[in-house]
Amino acid sequence: MSSPTRTSPPKNSIGGTTATQILGMNRYGGKHAAYRKIVRSLEGLPDATPVNFQMYRGMICEDPVVQLIQEDFLAETGFFLGELFGSGVVRHADYPFIHATVDRLLVDADGKFSGILEIKTVARMPGNDKYWWRYGQGSSQHLTQIEHYVEVLESALPERIAGGKLTENYLLVAEADPETWSMAVRLIEDGHPLDGIRPLIDIHWVKCSFPGDYGDTKLKDLVKFWTRHVEARNPPEIDGSDDCTATIIDQIPLRTGEREIKAEDEEHGKASEVIAEYDFIRDRLREIEEELDSYREEKRSLKARQSEIKNSLSVLAGDNSVIESQEFRVKFSRSMKGRGFDSDRFRIEHPEEWARYQKEGRESERVTITRKK
């Protein structure tokens, strides 16, 4: 099937990613991030969420990754991969402020929808386990996102779904190191496919299963969030996130003057209580930091001794690349360390280009608590 041109997903309603933020399953933002994104869009303000490389990579690599696997996917599952025409946005039949933007639909031989395919690109960092070793059938965030899409599509398009239920739902994860993804992005921007670097990208897909109670549980939480917070323009409960700070700054854009709180005031009791807790946390953090300093010193000493032992073995080996006995084997290999992008030098030699690629910052607020004697 051909790939229709799609617009950016709407930000003025609850999609799959925003749903995971509201439900507390997204490591990149919580309720305040969801609230600010939706409300700012409804009020005609620009989205304050910066588009980082990870988000950009996911957007432009989706189609090329599908091209790499669609024939194998068809051979394994028997389903064609298609897209919704137009904007690709489907809204819940009962709650139009809840939507879905699926990556791919699984289409059977009769042209009916049997399930969805959610596509994730993951950068594998040195020393980290592969995604599949950590999550097996998929992380809770990704599974919830897929379940959200299933709920919305089954509600909105029952006549186009085989048997009225989407039962063949898959998560596909394409995983590679950061350098490979940088190369992939350059190839795509230059109009080339990813076939040449296919061996460097680890691609797996797995069929997902769900409890089937999304409509009775999580969906109700999303509706409650919309009515209680978005419609009422009532921010979520205070938390420690940067987005919560940004919400407060939006509500109080300017601070002037000074307010005295008397001992008999209700606010005085509340402030005293939380400041006492703040003092306790500050003191405990200092204790933990002292303990960590001790561990760090021990770690430095042990690592120095490790390096000393390796150097001793290097001298013992002479010009041999391996020393071996019945009890041990030591192999020596060399590589270039310390290579990377020199951002300081680039900033000095190319100040205009440096300024061009700076990201917009986020206004913050410093809170200083001082105990009076």
Rounded to an integer, what distance in angstroms lies between the CA atom of residue 327 and that of residue 317? Answer: 16
Helix extents (H) in the chain: 16-22, 31-42, 53-77, 131-135, 140-156, 178-189, 218-225, 242-251, 266-317, 343-349, 351-356
Nearest partner of 215 among 143, 141, 145, 150, judged by Cα: 150
Look at residue 368 in the predicted model and tell me its pLDDT.
65
Can you spell out the DSSP letters for 241-271? SHHHHHHHHHH-----S-----TTSHHHHHH
Rounded to an integer, what distance in angstroms lies between the CA atom of residue 116 and that of residue 121? Answer: 17
Give me the CATH code for the 16-231 domain, please.
3.90.320.10
Displacement of CA 295 from its chain's centroid (Å): 31
Torsion, Cα of 258, 263, 266, 269 (10° steps): 100
Look at residue 339 in the predicted model and tell me its pLDDT.
67
* Residue numbers of the chain with a pLDDT score lower than 50: 1-6
Domain ranges for the chain, please list them.
Answer: 16-231, 266-334
Rounded to an integer, what distance in angstroms lies between the CA atom of residue 246 and that of residue 37? Answer: 11
Task: Write out pLDDT tens, residues 303-335.
Answer: 999 999 999 999 999 999 999 999 999 999 887
Nearest partner of 65 among 176, 226, 147, judged by Cα: 176
Can you spell out the DSSP letters for 36-105? HHHHHHHTTPPP-S---HHHHHHHHHHHHHHHHHHHHHHHHH--EEE--STT--EE-SS-TTBEE--SEE
Task: Write out pLDDT tens, residues 133-165.
Answer: 788 888 999 999 999 999 999 999 999 999 889
Displacement of CA 14 from its chain's centroid (Å): 17
Residue appearing with tokens 């980290």? 128
The token duo for 41 is 């869009």
Task: Write out pLDDT tens, residues 206-224.
Answer: 999 888 899 999 999 999 9
